[in-house]
Amino acid sequence: MTFLNPKINLKKYWKKKIDTLIWQKKPNKIIEKKNNRLIWFPDGKLNVYENCIANRLNEKKPCIIFVDQNNKILKLTAKEIDYKVNYLSNKIIKLLGKNFRNKKIIIHSSASLLSTISILACCKLGIHFSVVFEDLEEKAILNRINLFKPSLIISRQIKKNFFIKFKKIKLIKRMKFLFLNEINFNIKTKIIIPSYKNNSDRNLFTLFTSGSTGQPKGIVHSSGGYLMYSKFTTHKQFGVNKKTIFLTASDAGWINGHTYSLFGPLTLGATTIILESPMLLLRKEILMSIIKLKVSIIYLPVTLIRLMKSIYVNFKINTKDLKTLGSMGEPLAPSVAKWYSNFFSLGKKSIINTYFQTETGGIVSSPNFKETVKNSPHGSVGKPVSKFINFNNLNSKKPIEINIKDTWPGIMKGVINGQNFFKNYFNKQGNFRLFDLATKYKNNIYIHGRVDDVINIRGHRIGSAELEAIVLKNKNIKECSAISIKDELEGGSFVLFIVGKEKKINEYGVKKSIFSSFGSFALPKKIFYIENLPKTRSGKILRRVLRDIYENPKKNNLKDLSTILDKSVIEKIKFKILNAR
């Protein structure tokens, strides 16, 4: 089992990168095995805040730029951020008391100044935190509080009433609350709180996964390994440096909002732009304000790119500052990728189509900023980010489940709600399972969707992503989803959900493109025209929900729906299905 016994070369590779971080005690060891788990840089000590902000206090340029829904732009230097972080850290220490470093904090917020400053204060103090998306349903928030067991919850002043009604619950009664107003932060405090020394393996944060697979899990990341990998992948894949102005349109409650909105660009001395909501980019005036900030890298969720494609017609952006585009979260169909690069006038360059999970901490495979469409075509997730991220024997013909053979520093440390969950991530050979299907063609990797979403048509296995990419080639189709269904006669088939009006879509054209790509056997059993797809708040299509409602549209118990963006979508789809029967 190579995973738990890393090769010497792998250790040497990461040893060379030790000096990319600021250590309070430089590690001598790279990896140590303990209780069937690997610890990265076990004897190293560092502080994440020091790496992100405290080492930049003399800089004049902004470190973070916030853009809110009123198109108000707030530019903050490291020094200005440091005032706010010291102010908040001091409040936290007072509330948590002597033993504050061994307590946990939930940050209940969306992408905002409040969540950013709270995250950075936790990093400074070395307090294990978890960002919980503000607009999640009550039940989902309670569930996360129950699993994480924080001593303190930080939220916005206007959310006070939301928590007051929970106070009767025993667990919550014992907790402290800190309700803040963004304006409270307009402060220059003289208090200076030290950046505490933390073991590299100290828990940095827990993030509950999007739940696209049905069970939200609390994925825990360590300090040293995670930070090293964030910095490494941001530099290597995007080419970020001190001059970069980087826009990652992701909410703070998702892994991208941690790794690529904050830690990666901040440790590299770049400026990061944080949007109050990724959806703000659908407003032309806000998009233009961001362009005026001289943004050099734009990194967006695929669902957002698809929406932009349907909105920004006959309009193009051409700026010499923008050098690189990235995509995240979902398969990027070649037709959508092409529109994306043409819209931003970067036709020949590859899109950094990043493949990663909450569990991997950072990108495991993607094209890099130097590549062109010629060597990393649209639709592919390029090559693994390092020669030590080895996938199993992928081939060009049959999509197979993708695993990673050797460890890497960004790998999750564990799962907060159960060791059994953690064990499940490793297959019989001891490789790390990613639960996605992939192929490799001319050295580039293609992701075909989740293992659970594979479409079985009369014994032929096709990934959902592959079918959807073909359908998306048709004009007037904004979004679609293909799901596998049981078909006793034919031994498996699929149905298509298309976002759009039936009258406007050429169904014959859709079928023809499927026919010519896969053959007559692959025609959909039924096409439903719907207003919206069920999606998680991070923009992932909830294919398992579509499958469940197709199989039983009268069923009400649909497993975990805590991360769904809009529940009303489900009722509308149920209605369509029932009407068609």
The site for ligand AMP (CB under 6 A) is made up of: 209-210, 212, 255, 329-331, 353-355, 357-358, 381, 434, 436, 447, 450, 538
DSSP helix, strand, coil percent of the chain (3-state; round to 5): 35, 25, 40
Q: What is the dihedral angle through the alpha carbons of 95, 96, 98, 104, rounded to the nearest 10 degrees? A: -160
Residue closer to ligand AMP (CB basis): 76 or 402: 402
- CA–CA separation, 400 and 92 (whole Å): 48
Residue closer to ligand AMP (CB basis): 299 or 494: 299
Q: How near is the Cβ of 210 to ligand AMP at its closest, in Å?
A: 3
Burial of 387 (0-12, 13-18, 19+ CB in 10 A): exposed
- The residue with its CB nearest to ligand AMP is 210
Q: How near is the Cβ of 26 to ligand AMP at its closest, in Å?
A: 32
Residue 398 in contact with residue 266, Cβ under 8 Å? Answer: no
Residue closer to ligand AMP (CB basis): 417 or 538: 538
Residue 448 in contact with residue 436, Cβ under 8 Å? Answer: yes
Residue closer to ligand AMP (CB basis): 47 or 209: 209
Residue 55 in contact with residue 22, Cβ under 8 Å? Answer: yes
Angle, helices 113-125/78-96, rounded to nearest 10 degrees: 70
Q: How near is the Cβ of 219 to ligand AMP at its closest, in Å?
A: 8
Residue closer to ligand AMP (CB basis): 114 or 352: 352
Pairing assessment for the beta strands 432-441 and 352-353 based on DSSP bridges: unpaired
Residue 124 in contact with residue 196, Cβ under 8 Å? Answer: yes
Burial of 501 (0-12, 13-18, 19+ CB in 10 A): exposed
Residue 255: strand, helix, or coil:
helix
Q: How near is the Cβ of 211 to ligand AMP at its closest, in Å?
A: 8
Q: How near is the Cβ of 304 to ligand AMP at its closest, in Å?
A: 14
Q: How near is the Cβ of 254 to ligand AMP at its closest, in Å?
A: 7
Residue closer to ligand AMP (CB basis): 450 or 547: 450
Q: How near is the Cβ of 463 to ligand AMP at its closest, in Å?
A: 9
Residue closer to ligand AMP (CB basis): 227 or 255: 255
Q: How near is the Cβ of 126 to ligand AMP at its closest, in Å?
A: 25
Q: Could you tell me which of 458, 412, 396, 463 has the C-alpha nearest to residue 436?
A: 463
Residue 89, CB half-sphere, CA atoms under 13 Å: how many?
Answer: 25
Residue closer to ligand AMP (CB basis): 81 or 437: 437
Strand partners, 353: 327
Residue closer to ligand AMP (CB basis): 89 or 250: 250
- CA–CA separation, 433 and 134 (whole Å): 30
Q: How near is the Cβ of 318 to ligand AMP at its closest, in Å?
A: 26
Residue closer to ligand AMP (CB basis): 66 or 391: 391
**Kind and range of the H or E run holding 515:** helix 507-518
Residue 239 in contact with residue 324, Cβ under 8 Å? Answer: yes
Long-range CB contact pairs, 166-171, < 8 A, 24+: 166/142, 169/142, 171/145, 171/146
Burial of 580 (0-12, 13-18, 19+ CB in 10 A): exposed
Q: How near is the Cβ of 315 to ligand AMP at its closest, in Å?
A: 26
Residue closer to ligand AMP (CB basis): 43 or 452: 452
Chain-centre distance for alpha carbon 208:
11
Q: How near is the Cβ of 207 to ligand AMP at its closest, in Å?
A: 9
Residue closer to ligand AMP (CB basis): 64 or 381: 381
Q: How near is the Cβ of 376 to ligand AMP at its closest, in Å?
A: 12
Q: Could you tell me which of 165, 150, 120, 155 has the C-alpha nearest to residue 135?
A: 155
Q: Which residue has the tokens 């006669």?
A: 489
